[in-house]
Amino acid sequence: MTQHTRRILPLLLFFLLCTQLLAQTFTARVIRVLDGDTIAIVSDGTQIRVRLAECDAPESDQPFGSAATQFTASLVSGRSVTVHVTDKDKYGRSIAHITTDQGLDLSTELIRAGLAWWYRQYSRNLQLGFLETQARDAHRGLWIDPNPTPPSVWRHAR
């Protein structure tokens, strides 16, 4: 083993361990839907705020924000879900894929319904891009507006 390898190996092991700690899967109960892409869950007595992975729903005070929140609530409010944490955001929220008790991926369903954008910069899932295009072409949800304002632009304007 070279000296370079001896220095790099502990660093690689550290990053592998960190990745494994972030990528965890567990079941939880949804106790509150904060907005279309943010929920509060409780697991083992601990409350966790979760931001949905790979999608960006309108803000609560933005057009279709209320519709996105209601849609999310209709699928998960008060129900048991499977949570697959992939990361943490700058606000300390867990970024996760949420699977409903019916086996639906919540991010996918929001995009399919036209109530969220595919978060291209944080996703490699081209299927979500395809679903967004389908919703846009069908004028579903927020795509009834020919040029809806993405939440990131909405937040910066406020």
* Active site amino acids: 51, 59, 93
Q: Are 100 and 72 in contact (CB under 8 A)?
A: no
Strands 80-88 and 55-56: unpaired
C-alpha–C-alpha distance, residues 94 and 49, integer Å: 6
Phi, psi angle pair for 4, to nearest 5°: -60, -45
Taking the chain, what is the end-to-end CA distance rounded to the nearest angstrom? Answer: 56
**Three-class SS of 71-133:** HHHHHHCCCEEEEEEEEECCCCCEEEEEECCCCCEHHHHHHHCCCCEECHHHCCCHHHHHHHH
